[in-house]
Structure 1
Amino acid sequence: MDPTLYNAVVEGNISNGDFSLAEYLKRDEDNPYQVTPSGNTILHVAAHYGHSHFVAEVLKISPALLCHRNKKNETALHVAANEGHIEVVHALFSMEEHHKETLMSITDENGDTALHKAVRSRHENVARLLVKEDPAFEFPSNKARETPLYLAAESGLREALSEILNSCKQPTSSAGPLNRTTLHAAVIKEHTDCARLLMQWNKSLCEEPDVGGWNSLHFAALLGLKEVVSDMLVWKRSLAYLPAGSDNDWTTAIHIAAGGGKVDVLHALLNHFPDCWEMLDRNAQNVVNYLLKSTKWDKLIEDPDNDGNTPLYLLASSNFWGCVPLELKDHPRAKKRSYNKENKTPFDRSPKLNQMDRQKIIFNQAKERDTNIKGILSAAQMQLVVATLLVTVTFAAGFTLPGGFETDDDSPNKGMAVLIKRTAFCPFVITDAIAFACSAGAIFSYFYMVTNPRPMSYQDLDYLWSLSKVGARSQLVAMSAVVIAFVTGLYVTLAHSIGLAVTVCAIGCISFIMYVWAVLRPVWWIRVAKK
């Protein structure tokens, strides 16, 4: 893009001194279609910086730019919605009606519409405007199975969520990631207002299970959302009896609340269903340890599960033993020295992993995975710079050889390296070539990792880690080869001064060995400690 035009777009100058946007664009029919390296037209750039007057002026001259896409398949509307420039969105929608419908349906490389962009960036005013402009559009899900409705619920944007539900004739409510509904998203992020709004709109969402067999009530019980649990149970009482999990590994809402220590949710469940204290999970375990204030637990205190574990066993192996009342510990039916099927008493039993713990581990693993991916990509960006410098240096060294080239016109070796017959010259050329090749390979690995459009959703962690290791190892070989090339290059030029040449070689080699030792020393100590 012409620098004069680009600077005018960035500053929002339609007319400034000798420059006139209208004259410039009309001077040549190709002028309006100039793009930046990212494929952005002047309309994209103006939308990014929020210059609505500039956008309007450009559309008067070149309306075809309205649907022009950059390299990410984004239109100017995508850019404006992502940045939250509502005046620019108004200017883009000032075109004819059929252009408006086309704009709303265009998706980028990730399947995102402009509404996806606005909601994900938390620009509620832009999201409401987009919905009002085309209420008949269904706003389908993107490649990650996220609809604007799902993103609004997940982000807690109640106003945008309300606008979508009220304005859209047929808002898409298809299942999102992990087969979770919009109600799942609102509950998991603990957006109570959004969850209630979604329940009013479509109560049947409460029953929909995700890929792990958990519905929204189960997550609300896990997170202690008493109001949400109560609202769901008022609508449909049988929700409390629906199992969470698979056929071979399931539990219930009251067990989930009990395992998480959510006493308020337990009270809500018991208020609606006084008989749910009798419910058992897949191991025939009850929840008597959370009904200590009731007279109903007397009978249950000695009932063993399939493994022979009574509630006292489970309490002894949990984190709540110190909070157990004396009337339970000293109850005549509490057989504190009885053995289960593993021949263990309540005081030496090991805790087992239950369904709720597994769900928590899934959450923690997902967070840890996201953190690892961000760390790998951040390191790759820094290492990409280092690898690029190595490529530049080794490339330059290959064409500026030590000693220069033969320049004598009468010599048969004109243009050849002067020191090519020296012994140390061959190692210099070879190691320089190795350093260049390995650096280029590292750049290829890092570049692919950094430029991947959606590593958080589509890139496998193990694959990213493998690419990172390939790049790191290639870069280490390149750095080693660069040191050898430096040492041999100096040696070949200082051959007439053996003492100086040997000194330089020794300094280069010893320093490199010290650096490698400083890096590998902690690894060596860790292995020694493990032995």
Structure 2
Amino acid sequence: MANKKIDSKLYEYVKQDNIEEFKSRVQQHLAEKLVTPCGNSLLHVAIRYKSNNITAYLAKEIPSLITSRNDQQDTILHVAAREGSISHAIRNLVNSNAFLLRTTNREGNTPLHVAVINGNKDVAKFLISRDPEVAYYKNKTGRSPLYLAVENGNMKGILDDLLNEEASIPREREDGDSLGMLPQGKSPVHAAIENCIIEIEEAKPELLRLHDKEFGNPLHYASSTGYVEGVQFLLQKYRPGADETDQEGNYPIHLACKGGSVALLKEFLKHGRPASVYLLVRDKRVYPHPANNDGLTPYELGRKQSTIAVERYEGTDETFAKERQHSDSNNRVEGTKV
């Protein structure tokens, strides 16, 4: 049987939360077949208008409406998240129908995405308390609720609520299915590079190790944008990131060079990353022969800087010393050839 449009009287009763008139009129119809022009069920409408009496009545008497979706594939929880309603009836629905927390709409958004996008702090806080891992789920644009909270400038302190929940970062399953989770999407740290990276590092430092599918690790992104303070912070907090490549094979120091930032290069040299320096000067795109005022070619200067770094750290940083030995054994060249 095809769905029928909700008649105007019934619609008004729902808006007014007029439970007595609603009961009398709804009994004349197959309530589960009544929808608005946008495909909203009676329960969608009741939640939209915060009609708590009718919401509770419909959920109890016609439970099939709990799983109904409108034309945008929104569930009733998406509507609640958008409207910012967190009534007792909604809490009961979520507690007895936990699957709604991870159900996505046409844009791939969970209800938590919707709550964050609309700045509905109370709803977001409630949803994350019921299922913390959803904070890392990505939508069809690769954005997680955590990413969106950063992108929105921590509107109403929603980012704080998301970070305060104890949830481990979801990983891919053995079959390679990422379950729509963040590790294959956009890293929230990239969104935070220019405003609240310190806040994220203090709450969940493991996020600094995440890779963005498009931009690599956070150090790649900071280097590509020429953000000196961000590079300084990340080199202090996550030094191994300097020796990781993005999808194009670039190390963060390559991206610093592409942007022509001398200040960024100085930061990399301050932290004694010989592997990165050697990889840079040995790159085929580097012209190897010109010498500076001290008569040093790019390779010779890189070797000199590495020697300085070793003298500073060798003996006090065993890991650094091993890195240097490994780098030397794999990067031996004659003269100034690159």
TM-score over 0.5 for the alignment? yes
- Deviation per CA, 1:214-244, whole angstroms, max 9, x where unpaired? 3221110111222321222112334334444
Unaligned ranges ≥5, structure 1: 290-294, 305-531
1:236 paired with 2:238, answer yes
Query: For the residues of structure 2 that align with 1:288 and 1:270, how far apart are their CA atoms?
Result: 21
1:2 paired with 2:7, answer yes
Kept in 2: contact 1:222–1:262 (CA 8 A): no
Change (3 A) 1:242 1:185: closer
Query: For the residues of structure 2 that align with 1:166 and 1:222, how far apart are their CA atoms?
Result: 30
1:101 paired with 2:98, answer yes
Higher normalized contact order (CA 8 Å, seq sep 6+, divided by chain length) = 2
Query: For the residues of structure 1 that align with 2:149 and 2:261, how far apart are their CA atoms?
Result: 27
Kept in 1: contact 2:189–2:218 (CA 8 A): yes
1:116 paired with 2:116, answer no
Shift of residue 72, structure 1, vs aligned partner: 3.3
Show the counterpart of 2:159.
Answer: 161
Show the counterpart of 1:59.
Answer: 55
Change (3 A) 1:198 1:97: same
Kept in 2: contact 1:154–1:185 (CA 8 A): no
User: What's the C-alpha RMSD, in Å, of the aligned pairs?
Assistant: 4.1
Aligned residues: 281
Query: For the residues of structure 2 that align with 1:106 and 1:238, how far apart are their CA atoms?
Result: 37
Shift of residue 205, structure 1, vs aligned partner: 4.7
Query: For the residues of structure 1 that align with 2:289 and 2:13, how far apart are their CA atoms?
Result: 73
Change (3 A) 1:90 1:280: farther
Show the counterpart of 1:283.
Answer: 284
What's the TM-score, normalizing by structure 2?
0.65
Change (3 A) 1:198 1:39: same
Show the counterpart of 1:214.
Answer: 216
Matched AA of 2:195: T
Show the counterpart of 1:192.
Answer: 195
Change (3 A) 1:76 1:280: same
Show the counterpart of 1:225.
Answer: 227
Kept in 1: contact 2:219–2:241 (CA 8 A): yes
Query: For the residues of structure 1 that align with 2:128 and 2:10, how far apart are their CA atoms?
Result: 34
1:78 paired with 2:56, answer no
Query: For the residues of structure 1 that align with 2:288 and 2:229, how far apart are their CA atoms?
Result: 21
1:126 paired with 2:131, answer no
Query: For the residues of structure 1 that align with 2:167 and 2:209, how far apart are their CA atoms?
Result: 23
1:315-330, aligned counterparts within 5 Å?
Answer: none
Query: For the residues of structure 1 that align with 2:132 and 2:109, how far apart are their CA atoms?
Result: 17
Query: For the residues of structure 2 that align with 1:198 and 1:287, how far apart are their CA atoms?
Result: 41
Change (3 A) 1:138 1:226: closer
Unaligned ranges ≥5, structure 2: 1-5, 173-177, 301-338
Computing the radius of gyration from Cα coordinates, the structure with the larger value is 1
Show the counterpart of 1:36.
Answer: 36
Show the counterpart of 1:265.
Answer: 264
Query: For the residues of structure 1 that align with 2:21 and 2:136, how far apart are their CA atoms?
Result: 39
Change (3 A) 1:95 1:184: closer
- Deviation per CA, 1:391-446, whole angstroms, max 9, x where unpaired? xxxxxxxxxxxxxxxxxxxxxxxxxxxxxxxxxxxxxxxxxxxxxxxxxxxxxxxx
Comparing 168-177 with 105-114, greater Cα deviation is found at 168-177
What's the TM-score, normalizing by structure 1?
0.44
Shift of residue 107, structure 1, vs aligned partner: 2.9
Kept in 1: contact 2:125–2:158 (CA 8 A): yes
Query: For the residues of structure 2 that align with 1:221 and 1:261, how far apart are their CA atoms?
Result: 10
Kept in 1: contact 2:135–2:144 (CA 8 A): no
Structure with greater proportional helix content? 1
Kept in 2: contact 1:138–1:170 (CA 8 A): no
Shift of residue 13, structure 1, vs aligned partner: 2.0
1:337-356, aligned counterparts within 5 Å?
Answer: none
Kept in 2: contact 1:32–1:62 (CA 8 A): no
